[in-house]
Structure 1
Amino acid sequence: MSGDVTGEEDLRAFAAAWQDTKDGQTGSRYVDALHAEGRSDEALAVCRDLWDLGYVVGLTEAAWVEHDQGDYSAALASMTAALDHLEGDERLYAVGVVGCWRWHHFNDAMAEPLLREGMAHYGSAWAGLGTLLRATGRQEECEEVLRAGVTAGVLECMIPLANILSRRGERAEAEVLYRRGYDLGDAHSAWNLAIDLADAGRLEEASDWRWKAAAGGDELAIQHLIDEAVSDDH
């Protein structure tokens, strides 16, 4: 889904544009606006109108709204239905999404071909393939896939590979990956790095990275700092 749209004024503008010109672009923007305001049922109604008008974005947008609602079965059905109507990179992206959801939400190892097909177009599918390989006992291939993803700059592959390295005691290499992930915008990398630094006795650095993780929205880091503050009060 695209854009950060909030506020009633924006919503009215997108609604007016949709009523004036009912096409894929205006409909998609209106769906995003409604969903951003928490009006998901209305967003899904617009998705249905889009699909009735022949715009496949009605299916793909519906899939993301349903996914955000936690209705993973409906989301998977919508995105899967879209595959027959998409071409090129858009189709490969959707293939990656379908594979990722089948594996992540339904533990379906038969998603492997989809993950492989779509991984270059959807980073979570690349990382998902790595976790599937690990879960099915193919550790060496898992690391090869994740390392290839890191080399390609796929952010989603950095934490999984760093976690494997950390658990194996290769913390210097893991630290490099955590730092790189954080630099690319992944606050969870900061929290994982903080744990490793604390275990290594680098307590001041660990504290700094916990704060960075919390500032980036990592829930574990935020809760840790809250608990720490409560403990200090007592």
Structure 2
Amino acid sequence: MVVDLQARLRDALAGSDVDELVELGCDLADAGRQEQALACFQRAVDLGQDWIWFNVANTLRELDRPTEAVTAYQRAIAAGQSDAWLNLAHVLDSLGDLAGAMEAYRAAGQAGGQPEGHVQLAHLLHQQGEPQRAQAALAPALQRGYLPAVALAARWRWENTRESADPVLEQQLRAGAGVDGSARADLAELLIATGRREQAREQLQLGAKLGQRECWLPLGNLLAGDDLSAEPGQEQEVDGAEVDKAGAEEAYRAGIAAGDEWCHHNLALLLLQRGDVRAAEEHLLAGAAAGDELAQLAWQDLHQQD
């Protein structure tokens, strides 16, 4: 396969078959040979196929050359590739160009017809403390029934109202749970608030199996009884169900492995309960290094007791 790709590359770069250049570029990209893929795409552009700037931009992004990728995405858009707006927005966002990212997300939703652009714009506006503008930005995606938008709107509503007895809100959270781990975590919180802890556990376990890392921390909290302040050896019981400390520890460790740094703090509290101070300190330091203020405060409290 390596020899075949190399021979094809030599022939393609020497010729003028645009279809072969694009196909080979995609094959090389799939094989992890991004530099050679880039050469194919750039050769196709040199042959007058400006729409292939989109492929050039995606490859530059893979090569961690974001500034060049921005220029290439802009050229792709100028060539009529409106789908490039969303990718451009992601790169600008990663570069810290908030204003540019917001404009590109807006264009992705409007000119590109991509509802994800509306969702991402709404995210940014909400983070900037503009909830009304965020809701307005999300509206077109909601009108299309786009599930990530449904999930986000339901999450905001739960965050603002905590209307646990609202069947419509529960329905919206259930609809969004399949595409948004935070919506599933909020659904579990609603279920707990209405006395359905077993259903909440099932939802969180399902989310964890589906790779929704947002579910590990609340699953650990649920298994720990939502009370991590108990003294070592103290038995706990919540709503008639025994607390599963071993299961909680497993959940927190799985969350850390999945990239949820906030699990360090709660795992550390479990470790402190069983007297493993050294391991608890390591996790508090890891959480603090990741920006978790609770972990930082817990680490300071631990050392003030020395």
Q: TM-score, normalised by structure 1?
A: 0.77
**Corresponding position of 1:186:** 260
Cα separation, partners in 2 of 1:22 and 1:65, compared to 1, 3 Å: farther
- Is 2:80 aligned against 1:25? no
In 1: Cα distance, 2:114 partner to 2:132 partner = 19
Cα separation, partners in 2 of 1:9 and 1:226, compared to 1, 3 Å: farther
- CA deviations on 1:36-69 (whole Å, 9 max, x unpaired) are 4444334333344444425234423322221332
Equivalenced residue count is 225
The alignment yields a C-alpha RMSD, in angstroms, of 3.3
Structure 1 residue 85 displacement after superposition = 3.3
- CA deviations on 1:161-196 (whole Å, 9 max, x unpaired) are 211222344312211111111111111111111011
**Corresponding position of 1:16:** 74
Pick from 68, 73, 77: which aligns with 2:127? Answer: 68
- Is 2:144 aligned against 1:85? yes
In 2: Cα distance, 1:139 partner to 1:187 partner = 25
**What is the identity percentage for the equivalent residue pairs of Structure 1 and Structure 2?**
30
**Structure holding more helix per residue:** 1
Higher relative contact order (CA 8 A, sep 6+): 1
The answer for unaligned runs of 5 or more in structure 1 is none
Moved more, 42-51 or 208-217: 42-51
Structure 1 residue 122 displacement after superposition = 1.4
> 1:144-223 residue pairs with structure 2 within 5 A?
144-166=202-224, 167=227, 168=236, 169-223=243-297
Moved over 4 A (4+): 3-8, 223-229
The answer for unaligned runs of 5 or more in structure 2 is 1-60, 228-235, 237-242
Amino acid paired to 2:162: N
- CA deviations on 1:201-225 (whole Å, 9 max, x unpaired) are 1111111222232344433224545
Amino acid paired to 2:251: L
Please identify the structure whose Cα radius of gyration is greater: 2
Q: TM-score, normalised by structure 2?
A: 0.61
